Structure 1
């Protein structure tokens, strides 16, 4: 097969017959164009994949920033709550302190209305961990709570409630009921053996109010072996009282209770045969006969 090309020129028409090499040229050009097109297509797809990947990374980073912002706002909200709690407690402490200072004419030595003077070296540039800040604030709240208890006791003194008279132990630990077992040797109700009963039992109806026989500070409120649910009150001067076998407790450790205040309800928890309160008086950590306190005249 041959191809003839006619070319019109000034001197007329001339004829040219290309060789086989010239016939291969279009095929080579087509192949080259196809290769270039495929290469460009692959390059474009690679660039597009890179752009999509970058967009995905940016979206992930954006979401991380939003999550961090939300977490920070949540932590700041907790911080605001902690600060509000401390402010309320401090206002209470300041009011109580100011009242006590006025009652004892100590305004010149204790001024609760001005900023407390403090100072000391500081580590400039030291970083503050938010978690540590929360821990410190919680510790401060605990200290404020402890001071609140102490100032509440001072408030009682300043209000002329005669705390010394209130600490005078007298009367029964119940308003309704009867003495069911005295202090001293008795036959144990569980094994029948002769044992020492180191308190007085007052029986009554389950749920009957159990009251403090003198003012003081609660040093135990919970289960104790043999006693069941027990309340122990420290009245100072080495004297304590115990109220055992309760059904439920109305006080917690650290509470300041007044004489006659309800501290529990009568029950039969622990080593007990029925609803009653086991009442003890301790001096220097040793149980003594509560009878003289039960039947003594109120001060």
Structure 2
């Protein structure tokens, strides 16, 4: 197959005969164009894939950095929590130690406000890892807990000794006044007959302070038949004290009172002939002679 091309010139017409090779040229060019396009497209796809891969790698690295940051922040938060917990325990320990030292006149030997003296030569050791530091702090916190428990027990023992002294019944139940009727048999002021007087009467001016003869808990604060306005205090170990015929009361049931604290004002309520306080000491629920408690030395 061949193609003849006629070209009109100035003088004559030229004839150009195209063979099969010339006819295949467009096909070859088209094929080359397709190959170039496919190669270019393949390179573009490869470049795009490389870019996506790099982008994914950067995102993965970014996520790793974020995870590391979060892990570091978590460990730092844990470390801060440990330090805060230890600081609180040490503060409590110092307070307990100072209190025990003060109660036992040891302030000059133990000053918990000063730093503990340490020192000495030391070789430069390896750096401490965070996990090891946290383990060491846990161990130290456990030791502090143990020491705090020991010091709390010591404080309790000391406090109980102090409480025992406070619960020691002694002295008169009035600030001012005089003994007007002892414990034992006497002529009843209302009937004139012999009757058992189960307490001691202290007379004085109306309104005179009535005070607790020992520390304890108020178990009665109100009117009681025969006693008028009465205060009863439980001192533990089966011992109670009563303060009767008061004009007014200064405490309520459940109050904790200390030795020498005002509990009432002297009056003449109930079965009474004049301003006084009827004072009783009970052991195991039975009245006993209060005189040995009134006149014994304070504990």
Query: Which has the greater radius of gyration?
Result: 2
> TM-score with structure 2 length normalisation?
0.49
> TM-score with structure 1 length normalisation?
0.49
